[in-house]
A and B are shown apart, each in its own frame.
Chain A
C-alpha cells in the first residue's frame, strides 16, 4: 500500500490549514480543554464558561467589553515609534517596529480612547501584549500621558489596563523616563481628585508595575494574573531557590496588601460602574 508510506519528512500542512473545526465557530479553553461556542465565550467577556480561565485579550476586546455598544473615540490612533537611538541589536529597531505593525495591525503597545461605560464618561488606556511584549517606549508613555490629560480636562475617571513585560530596551533611557512621565501626569490627576483605576492583567511586570500600574486610587487585577516588579526567572536566579506556588499571582499580591480587589472580567464593567458612581 504505497500511498500509506510517507515519502517526505515532517508534516506538510501549513499551520493555518490545520483546523479541526471551521475557524471562529468553536473555542477550546487552553486551561480546561473544554470546548464552547465562540459567541458564548465572547459574551462571557472572553473567559471560560467552565473554569473561568481568562483568555489573554487585547485592547480591541477590552474596549468591546467596557464601552457601551463598543462606541468610543480613539485618541492619537496614528502615533508610532521614533528611533531616537538608531538602535540595533540582532535587528534594527525600525525594522522591528515595521514588521510588528504589519503582523499585529497595531501601531504600538497601547491604545487609548474615551466613551461611555454604562452611561458614565470614562477614558481608558489599554495595553496590547502582542506588540513587542507590551513593552513601554515613548509611544506608550506619551499616549498614556495624553489620555490622562484628557481625563483631567474633562474631569472623567481614568482606567488603565496594564499588560506588559516592562520597559522597551530599544529605547533605553527614553523608555526609562516614560515611567517618570506617566507618574508626573498621575500626580496632577491625583491633585485634581479625578479617580484613577489601575487594572493589572496577566502579566504586569517591570517598569510598568513600578510606575502607573501601582499608582491607582484603586489597584485591581484579574484572577491569577502574574504581577511583579522582577520577573520570576530573575528572582529564582537571584535567590537560587524555587519560588513558592502562587508567588506573584494576583491573589498573592492581594494578600500582601497591594491590590484593592480581584475582579472577574465578566463583572468588570458593572463593578467599576458601581464603584465610580459611589464617588460622584
Chain B
C-alpha cells in the first residue's frame, strides 16, 4: 500500500480512478484505452505541476516520505556486491549506522550511511535513523579502513539527528561527532557525501565532511529540524512551515548559499515514486564524481576539502 502525503492526494485520486477504469475494462471487455491515455496524461501533468511548485515544508515532508529509498535500498539497487561490516570495536554495533565494502560498476567503494526502518519493528531496531556515539565511531573505523586499503568513501546522510539519549551522553555523543569532523578532513581517499533524506544538524554533519557534498532534490540539510526551530524561536510547534522558509534548508537553498556542492535531480514525483530510476541517477553521479576526484592527488583533495569548509560563513568587518 503506497502512502500519499496531503499534497499528493490529487495524484492518488487520479491513480485510483485509473485503476478502477482498468479493472472495469477487464471485467466488461470494453475498450477504454482512450480513457486510460487521458488519465495517464493528466496524472503525469498533475505530478509535474505539483512537484514544480513545492514549498520548503513540502520538501521536508518528502524527505521523510515513508516510501523513500534508504541507504540499504540504494546499496542493493546500485551495487553488485555488498559486504556489510559491523561494530565500533568498543561498545556495540549501531543498527542506525550501516556500512561496508561495495562493488559499484567494478570498483570497490566503502559506503556508509544512516539507516531508517520501514515498519514499526524495524524503525525501533534502527532507532529511527538516529545513531548513538558508537554509530559515529563505527563510521570512522570503516572510513579509516577504506583509507588503509585506498578505497573511496561514499556516505549517505539520512537522519533526524544524533540520538539525544542518556547512554549517548554517557558514551560521548559530542566527542564522537567532533572527532569525525576533524578526522574526515584529512582522509587521503576521495570522500563523497550525499544527503538522501533528512540532514539534521551535527548528527548529519558527523558523516558529512567530503570532497563533494551533494543533496537529492527533495531533501533538507540544516542545523536543526524546522519543528524544533519553531519550538525554540516561536515557542510553539505550529510555526514549522515558517521556520522551514526562514532556515532556507532545501537543496536549492544550500547550493545557492555555497554550503553544498551539488543537487541531484529526482525522477518526476520524487525518489519514493521510482526507486530504480533514482538509484540509476545516483549511481551515474557517483561514478562521474569519483572520476573527477581520482584525478587529484590525496594532498590536493585534502587541501581543497579543508579550504572549502573554511570559506563557509558570512561576516562583516
Binds B, one of A48-56, A111-119, A179-187: A179-187
- List the A residue with the shortest CB-CB distance to B169: A228
Which of chain B's residues have a CB closer than 8 A to the CB of A199? none
Whether B165 and A177, one on each chain, are in contact in the complex, defined by CB atoms closer than 8 angstroms, is no
Whether B181 and A211, one on each chain, are in contact in the complex, defined by CB atoms closer than 8 angstroms, is yes
A215 touches which of B169, B178, B247 (Cβ 8 Å): B178
Whether B309 and A172, one on each chain, are in contact in the complex, defined by CB atoms closer than 8 angstroms, is no
Whether B247 and A85, one on each chain, are in contact in the complex, defined by CB atoms closer than 8 angstroms, is yes
A80 touches which of B168, B305, B316 (Cβ 8 Å): B316
Which of chain A's residues have a CB closer than 8 A to the CB of B223? 167-169, 171-173, 175-176, 207
Tell me if B123 is interfacial: C-beta within 8 Å of chain A.
no
How many residue pairs between the two chains, A and B, have CB atoms under 8 Å in the bound complex?
A: 195
Tell me if B317 is interfacial: C-beta within 8 Å of chain A.
yes
How near does chain A come to B249, taking the closest CB pair, in angstroms? 6
In the complex, how many residues of chain A place their beta carbon closer than 8 angstroms to a beta carbon of chain B? 65
Binds A, one of B40-48, B81-89, B107-115, B229-237: B229-237
Whether A211 and B178, one on each chain, are in contact in the complex, defined by CB atoms closer than 8 angstroms, is yes
A210 touches which of B185, B202, B305, B315 (Cβ 8 Å): B202
B315 touches which of A138, A172, A248 (Cβ 8 Å): A138
Contact A78 to B171, CB < 8 A, known contacts A167-B224, A184-B185: no
Tell me if B143 is interfacial: C-beta within 8 Å of chain A.
no
Whether B221 and A183, one on each chain, are in contact in the complex, defined by CB atoms closer than 8 angstroms, is no
How near does chain A come to B195, taking the closest CB pair, in angstroms? 11
Which of chain B's residues have a CB closer than 8 A to the CB of A213? 174, 178
Q: Give the contacts of B38-60 with A (CB-CB under 8 A).
A: none
- In angstroms, Cα B164 to Cα A230, docked, is 5
B205 touches which of A180, A238, A243 (Cβ 8 Å): A180
Q: Give the contacts of B198-236 with A (CB-CB under 8 A).
A: 201-202, 205-206, 208-209, 221-224, 229, 232-234
How near does chain B come to A208, taking the closest CB pair, in angstroms? 8
- In angstroms, Cα B169 to Cα A214, docked, is 13
B173 touches which of A79, A171, A173, A210 (Cβ 8 Å): A210
B232-249 contact mask (Cβ, 8 Å, vs A): 1 or 0:
111000010011001111
Q: Give the contacts of B303-317 with A (CB-CB under 8 A).
A: 305-306, 309-310, 312-317
Binds B, one of A60-68, A87-95, A122-130: A87-95
Whether B175 and A258, one on each chain, are in contact in the complex, defined by CB atoms closer than 8 angstroms, is yes
- In angstroms, Cα B168 to Cα A190, docked, is 26
- In angstroms, Cα B118 to Cα A186, docked, is 39
Tell me if B30 is interfacial: C-beta within 8 Å of chain A.
no
Contact A207 to B248, CB < 8 A, known contacts A90-B234, A230-B168: no
Tell me if A59 is interfacial: C-beta within 8 Å of chain B.
no
Whether A181 and B234, one on each chain, are in contact in the complex, defined by CB atoms closer than 8 angstroms, is no
How near does chain B come to A201, taking the closest CB pair, in angstroms? 15
How near does chain A come to B172, taking the closest CB pair, in angstroms? 5
Tell me if B292 is interfacial: C-beta within 8 Å of chain A.
no
- List the A residue with the shortest CB-CB distance to B173: A229
A182-196 contact mask (Cβ, 8 Å, vs B): 1 or 0:
011111101100000
Whether A256 and B170, one on each chain, are in contact in the complex, defined by CB atoms closer than 8 angstroms, is yes
B276-317 contact mask (Cβ, 8 Å, vs A): 1 or 0:
000000000000000000000000000001100110111111
Residue ranges of A at the interface with B (Cβ–Cβ < 8 Å): 76, 78-85, 87-90, 137-139, 141-142, 145, 167-181, 183-188, 190-191, 206-207, 209-215, 228-230, 234-235, 238-239, 241, 243, 247-248, 256-258
Known contacts A210-B173, A239-B166; 5 additional CB pairs below 8 A are A169-B232, A173-B248, A174-B314, A229-B202, A230-B173
21 residue pairs bridging A and B, Cβ less than 8 Å apart: A81-B315, A82-B315, A85-B257, A87-B247, A89-B239, A89-B242, A169-B223, A176-B205, A176-B259, A177-B313, A180-B205, A180-B209, A183-B209, A184-B309, A209-B174, A210-B162, A215-B178, A229-B162, A239-B165, A247-B169, A258-B172
